[in-house]
Amino acid sequence: MKNYAILLNFMVWTYLANAQPIINNVFNRNIASLNGKWHIIIDPYDNGYYDYRMQENPWGFFRNQKPANKSERIEYDFDKSETLNVPGDWNSQKPELLFYEGSIWYKRSFDYSLPKGKKLFLWFGAVNYQADVYLNGKKLGSHEGGFTPFYFEITNFVQDKDNFVVVRVNNQRKADGVPTINTDWWNYGGITRDVLLIEEDSIFIQNYHLYLNNQNPQQLRGWVQLNNNKSEEKVRIEIPELKLIIEGKTDEKGVFTFDRKINNLVRWEPLKPKLYTVYLYHGRQIMKDNMGFRTITTQGNKLFINEKPIFLKGICIHEEMPMRKSRANGYDDAKTLLGWAQELGCNFVRLAHYPHNEYMVRMADSLGLLVWSEIPVYWTIQFDNPKTYQLAEKMLTENIGRDQNRASIIIWSVGNETPVHEARIQFMKNLALKAKQLDPTRLVSAAMEVHVEPSNPFIYHVDDPLGEYLDVIACNEYVGWYDGLPDKTEKITWQTKYNKPFVFSELGACALFGHHGDSLTRWTEEYQEYFFNQQIKMLNKVSFLTGVSPWILADFRSPRRQLPGIQDFWNRKGLISDQGQRKKAFYVIQKYYKTR
Ligand code: GCU
């Protein structure tokens, strides 16, 4: 017990030491929404950030100033400018912004009477890609990374009336960014997720993690972390349905850890996603959360949920609503996308290639869908750049910090299809170790590379050195689309040196819905149907296969997909079209999943 407490403390501190500690479960806190119409200034030359000599003005020029007198020269006026909806990507809101990559300045005003002794935080669910945030003309700070939350404390800056928030959003792709300049998805820019004001007591519960001991499901373990390292603070956890009360005091780091025997808990699982209402108390603060509890273990290439073996019947999903041609967000979009996955017969979804919004993972909890969550360490990022590594690690920390209480998430993925070389192996090994350190209760994976010896071109080896550091090995394969024709699958044997669960994390082919022909005519529904029928025969021969997540649920936007009349900037590998129509291949996978 003592060793466990020491380990846990180390774990929590490691988590705290490296990034802005996440304020989790924000929707159940004392919040005020700043969603709605924000005034904007489209700023392709970054006029608001650089002067004409390109001298940076990190305080920003667009600070909502008004001319002091009739002679003063100010060449912008937020309040007379146009508006964009927040949350929302800008690409889908104005035709002229469809391809826009650059800066857009956002501004909105608000009043707020902050009671004495309270703290106030300005919180963003995500901004893609870089955000510089100002309040009442003062720069609060910046955040890089388009898919994780961040916040600034504004306790000492907020005024009762006429506060104004200005955010410079820049979505230009950066060679040293995460992702880098080359991706196969649309570069949606903007304040793409909720903006909230969070009011808390001076000392409050900042984050927590409650989970079952994977090796002993009668043990409920966890920690509760305050926003400061105040010891001897009373903390209480209640799960009324279990008649469970756990209480204690924080240690010198402001953390309360516990390890409690429990008996009558109904565990969360895909066909029975049992969620409990959990209450956490500190002082006057009452936090409520809906949580499921389950174990996840592996043995060889077998995967177990609650000690029962499971085959992952998955699908990959981008965070996009194809009918709207926009970023997905909110419970309705989550219900649509995950409802399609359920209709397909899935028990598993790979949320590609970046952390999706919180509504998605909470909906997965409710529907009983297992989740592969991923940071956008994608293709050819700068693996030898320490800044890029720090950024990737910060994204991983933010991803885990936000979602560690979601029972649906079983896998943290540290990347996708990255080229095998020493710098990349070190980079992703360190990310994998970091993920285990931040959350030892889940599995770590990545979509690795496959290799084929020229001397024997029909044996496909899953032996990427990265696999040494992963709990679940995975790879993408496109035999029959990028690699030969669908009948090539009949010649191929898969081998792996790893005795670990193995997932085909992508396989797919394109089809334009309603485009028909014979099964060897590319881009037809018949070709895509033939592709999957051939693939299934090959999958059934892979004895060590633990799961599969075809690429992809629905057609999605991509600047790389240009074939006129067929792609028109859409990647057509969806089993569902950009209008929500099921292609023939949808029913092939649906039938296959009924057999697994
Ligand atoms: C890759 C990649 C995806 C991409 C897909 C495709 O495997 O991981 O992001 O969209 O192939 O080419 O359609």
Confidence of residue 280 (pLDDT cuts 50, 70, 90): very high
pTM of the model: 0.95
pLDDT of the residue at 6? 55
d(CA 48, CA 77): 12
The Cα 256–Cα 349 span in angstroms is 33
CB atoms within 10 A of CB 302: 14
Average pLDDT for the chain: 95
**How far apart are the C-alpha atoms of 454 and 467, rounded to whole Å?**
22
**What integer pLDDT is reported at residue 74 of this predicted model?**
84
Report pLDDT digits (tens) over 239-272.
999 999 999 999 999 999 999 999 899 999 998 9
Span from the CA of 317 to the centroid of ligand 1 (angstroms): 11
Regarding the beta carbon of 416 and ligand 1, being less than 6 Å apart is answered yes
Q: What is the mean pLDDT of residues 341-350?
A: 98
**Span 343-365, average pLDDT:** 98
CA distance 65 to 63: 6
Say if ligand 1 is within 6 A of residue 417 CB: yes
- Note whether 203-294 and 304-510+539-554+584-595 share their fold: no
Q: How far is the CA of 379 from the centre of ligand 1 (A)?
A: 10
Q: Kindly report the backbone phi and psi dihedral angles of residue 429, in degrees, each rounded to the nearest multiple of 5, phi listed first.
A: -60, -45
- Best CATH choice for the domain 36-86+88-192 from the list 3.40.50.620, 2.60.120.260, 1.10.1660.10, 2.70.98.40: 2.60.120.260
549 lines ligand 1 (CB under 6 A): no
Residue extents of the structural domains in the chain: 36-86+88-192, 203-294, 304-510+539-554+584-595
Facing residues of 285 across strands?
282
Residue 129 has pLDDT above 80, yes or no: yes
Contact at 8 Å (CB) between 544 and 554? no
Torsion, Cα of 267, 269, 272, 274 (10° steps)? 50
**What pLDDT is recorded for position 17?**
38
Residue 186 CB less than 6 A away from ligand 1: no
Work out the average pLDDT over 532-538.
Answer: 98
Predicted local distance difference test score (pLDDT) of residue 51: 82
Q: Does residue 477's CB lie within 6 angstroms of at least one atom of ligand 1?
A: no
CB 551 near ligand 1, within 6 Å: yes
pLDDT band at 195 (very low <50, low <70, confident <90, very high): very high
Residue nearest to atom 6 of ligand 1 (CA): 184
At 54, is the pLDDT very low, low, confident or very high (cuts 50, 70, 90)?
Answer: confident
For residue 573, give the ligand 1 atom closest to its CA: 13
Pocket of ligand 1, candidates 506, 549, 575: which has the most ligand atoms within 8 Å of its Cβ, to mutate?
Answer: 506
- How far is Cα 94 from Cα 170, in angstroms, rounded to an integer? 17
Bridge-partner residues for 104, per DSSP?
A: 42, 169
Please tell me the class of the 203-294 domain: mainly beta
Most ligand 1 atoms within 8 A of CB, residue of 186, 380, 417 to mutate: 417
Question: What pLDDT does residue 156 have?
Answer: 97
What is 304-510+539-554+584-595's CATH number?
A: 3.20.20.80
pLDDT for 381-417, tens place per residue?
A: 999 999 999 999 999 999 999 999 999 999 999 999 9
Model confidence at 134: pLDDT above 60: yes
Whole-number pLDDT of residue 587? 98
Which residue's CA lies nearest to atom 7 of ligand 1?
Answer: 476
On the question of pLDDT at 14 being above 70, the answer is: no
Residues 249-256: contacts with CB within 8 Å, 24+ apart? 250/224, 250/226, 251/9, 253/9, 253/12, 253/13, 253/16, 253/229, 254/225, 254/226, 254/227, 254/228, 254/229, 254/230, 255/9, 255/12, 255/223, 255/224, 255/225, 255/226, 256/223, 256/224
Bridge pairing between strands 370-374 and 409-416: parallel
- Ligand 1 proximity of 573 Cβ (cutoff 6 Å): yes
Could you read off the pLDDT of 441-488 as tens digits, one per residue? 999 999 999 999 999 999 999 999 999 999 999 999 999 999 999 999
Q: What is the pLDDT of residue 73?
A: 84
Q: What are phi and psi of 227, to 5 degrees?
A: -75, -5
- Does residue 322 have a cis bond before it (omega within 30 degrees)? no
CB 467 within 8 A of CB 503: no
CB neighbour list of residue 35: distance below 8 Å, 6 or more residues apart: 86, 87, 194, 195
Give distance in angstroms: CA of 182 to centre of ligand 1. 12
Task: Kindly give the distance from the C-alpha atom of residue 184 to the centroid of ligand 1, in angstroms, as a whole number.
Answer: 6
- Residue 149: partners with Cβ closer than 8 Å, 6 or more residues away: 22, 23, 26, 123, 124, 125, 126, 193, 398, 402
* Ligand 1 atom closest to Cα of residue 506: 7
